[in-house]
């Protein structure tokens, strides 16, 4: 009994040691240490126990870099998607963020300032990269995905296309601009992550083959009828065998239960 009390005490102490921290509602538990609080991305704070402040004017911060006793709003030294850093953060001020044109965005956000929007070298999520910057533009041409397709939540920084939700749909391209089934039958699924609703090209062929096979089997049904009694006799023999097997299985199960019970009794007496 004393051993059980010691074990229970150790488990209780372990649970207390690993208790989660009392974070402020605006903060979160650290992914690295559940006894500590940190401010989530896009905010800043001196610790995660007091309030985390949202980064202003489309500026942004990274987790772990945005929580500390000596931090201020300058921790917001990057920009949200769709914006680039036009002036870097200073000791007491966040980064100055300017909106990218044409649904473009930096592929990788940085704290370094750019003199113009050439930093906007990718397309926003669910916009595909149709063409690179031209003579009259510093950003790529970004086109919204056709209906029932997306970019799989990726930022495209080279020419590419969206992907239809339905795996059975034709691949989108410069000539295929809408989601259609490869087989030409059915309607592509309209919700991301759902099973395909396109009818496979093999379905119609399979139906035809099944029909022909059915006609052939009907012709031979007459001769098969006479074999019914023989099959019945075989079935009776099989039933006898199954009954015997069931009895053996039940016996083995009983032996296993008794063995397990004996092992448990031995463990209790050892303790």
Beta strands in 64-207 (DSSP E): 78-79, 83-87, 96-99, 104-105, 122-123, 127-131, 141-144, 149-150, 163-164
Say what the pLDDT of residue 259 is. Answer: 52
Say what the pLDDT of residue 20 is. Answer: 62
Say what the pLDDT of residue 256 is. Answer: 43
Contact indicator for 176, 164 with CB cutoff of 8 Å? no
The upper half-sphere exposure of residue 16, i.e. CA atoms within 13 Å in the direction of its Cβ, equals: 6
Helices (H), the chain: 2-17, 202-219, 221-225, 228-270
Say what the pLDDT of residue 204 is. Answer: 47
Say what the pLDDT of residue 191 is. Answer: 95
Q: Residue 164, Cα to own-chain centre: how many angstroms?
A: 17
Residues of the chain below pLDDT 70: 1-21, 202-271
Q: Which of 158, 185, 152, 157 is nearest to 170 (CA)?
A: 185
CA–CA dist 41, 62 (Å, integer): 5
Residue with tokens 């605006």: 26
How far is the CA of 236 from the CAs of 68, 132, 179, 242, 245, in angstroms?
A: 80, 77, 57, 10, 14
Say what the pLDDT of residue 22 is. Answer: 86
Contacts of 127 (CB under 8 A, 6+ apart): 103, 142, 143, 144, 145, 151, 156
Say what the pLDDT of residue 203 is. Answer: 52
Say what the pLDDT of residue 202 is. Answer: 65
Say what the pLDDT of residue 21 is. Answer: 64
Say what the pLDDT of residue 246 is. Answer: 38
- Both tokens assigned to 261: 């019970």
Say what the pLDDT of residue 186 is. Answer: 92
Give 156-184 as a DSSP string: B-SS---EES-TTBPPP-SS--S--BTTS
How far is the CA of 6 from the CAs of 2, 60, 196, 266, 268, in angstroms?
A: 6, 50, 57, 21, 16
Per the DSSP assignment, residues forming a β-bridge with 85 are: 97
């Amino acid at each position: 009994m004393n051993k059980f009390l010691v074990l229970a005490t150790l488990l209780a102490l372990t649970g207390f040691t690993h208790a989660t921290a009392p974070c402020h509602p605006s903060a979160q538990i650290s992914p690295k240490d559940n006894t500590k609080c940190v401010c989530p991305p896009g905010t800043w704070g001196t610790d995660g126990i007091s309030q985390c402040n949202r980064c202003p004017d489309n500026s942004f911060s990274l987790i772990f870099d945005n929580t500390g006793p000596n931090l201020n709003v300058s921790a917001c030294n990057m920009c949200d998607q769709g914006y680039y850093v036009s002036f870097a953060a200073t000791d007491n001020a966040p980064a100055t963020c300017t909106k990218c044109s044409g649904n473009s965005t930096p592929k990788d956000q940085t704290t370094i300032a750019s003199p113009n929007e050439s930093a906007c070298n990718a397309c926003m999520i669910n916009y595909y990269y149709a063409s690179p910057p031209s003579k009259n533009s510093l950003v790529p041409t970004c086109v919204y995905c056709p209906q029932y397709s997306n970019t799989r939540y990726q930022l495209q920084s080279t020419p590419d296309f969206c992907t239809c939700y339905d795996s059975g749909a034709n691949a989108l391209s410069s000539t295929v601009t809408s989601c259609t089934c490869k087989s030409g039958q059915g309607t592509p699924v309209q919700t991301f992550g759902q099973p395909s609703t396109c009818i496979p090209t093999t379905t119609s062929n399979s139906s035809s083959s099944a029909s022909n096979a059915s006609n052939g089997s009907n012709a031979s049904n007459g001769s098969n009828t006479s074999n019914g009694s023989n099959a019945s006799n075989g079935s009776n023999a099989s039933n006898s065998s199954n009954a015997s097997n069931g009895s053996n299985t039940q016996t083995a199960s009983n032996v296993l239960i008794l063995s397990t019970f004996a092992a448990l009794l031995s463990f209790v007496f050892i303790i």
